[in-house]
Amino acid sequence: MIYLDNRQEEIKVSEELIKDMEKVIYFALKEEEVENECEVSLVLVNNDEIREINNDTRNIDKATDVLSFPMLDYPKGKVFKDVYKEKEFDEVYLDGEELVLGDIVLSLEKALEQSKEYNHSYEREVFYLIVHSILHLLGYDHMIEEEKIIMRKREEEILNKLDIRR
């Protein structure tokens, strides 16, 4: 289940965009071989709120595009399908029957700014940031170049399969 919380008023969020965001989340999970019923929270915020969250959680006092808060731990270089694909989860990880993957906090203001900067659609930027964040929830990272290459490749593969192009 996807819990969507739109906490911003600067950018209108259509029902169609909400459905498309959910579709992207479910597709990315499927592509990453997550077969469990899952719970993901998607929180839509403005630049001020994401700056505050970024400062509170990472001590970085600036607005960013997306923050990911995974609930599962991953060994260095391992992702969900390497570690958890066959795991039977207990109530520590479950909300009812659903595996709690974590939270995505997305600044729609920053997504709009970046779509203009990168010269592609606002929707493409939102979908890219969602895929990027889902991959973080599943253990991917980009702190070192080798991991960054792997993560970027997966992002593009998933977006291409959804026919979401630059």
Q: Residue 141 has which token pair?
A: 């990272």
- Asked if residue 148 is part of any domain, the answer here is yes
Buried b (16+ CB within 10 A) or exposed e, 114-130: bbeeeeeebbbbbbbbb
Residue 116, pLDDT score: 97
Residue 91 or residue 146, greater confidence: 146
- Asked if residue 166 is part of any domain, the answer here is no
- Asked if residue 142 is part of any domain, the answer here is yes
- Asked if residue 119 is part of any domain, the answer here is yes
- Asked if residue 52 is part of any domain, the answer here is yes
pTM: predicted TM-score of the whole model, two decimal places: 0.95
| 3-state secondary structure (DSSP) of residue 147 | helix
- Asked if residue 37 is part of any domain, the answer here is yes
Residue 123, pLDDT score: 97
Which domain does 129 fall in, by range? 2-161
CA distance 11 to 112: 9
CA distance 109 to 69: 20
CA dihedral 69, 132, 15, 39 (to 10 degrees): -40
Per-residue pLDDT band for 85 (boundaries 50, 70, 90) equals confident
Q: End-to-end alpha-carbon separation of the chain, Å?
A: 28
Residues 120-127 have a mean pLDDT of 97
How many structural domains does the chain have?
1
User: Looking at 77-81, 87-91, 152-156, which range is the least confident one?
Assistant: 87-91
Please check if 120 is assigned to a binding site: no
Please check if 142 is assigned to a binding site: yes
Domain of 42: which CATH number? 3.40.390.30
- Asked if residue 94 is part of any domain, the answer here is yes
- Asked if residue 59 is part of any domain, the answer here is yes
* Segments of the chain assigned E as strands: 2-6, 38-45, 66-70, 94-95, 98-107
Contact 39, 93 (CB under 8 A): no
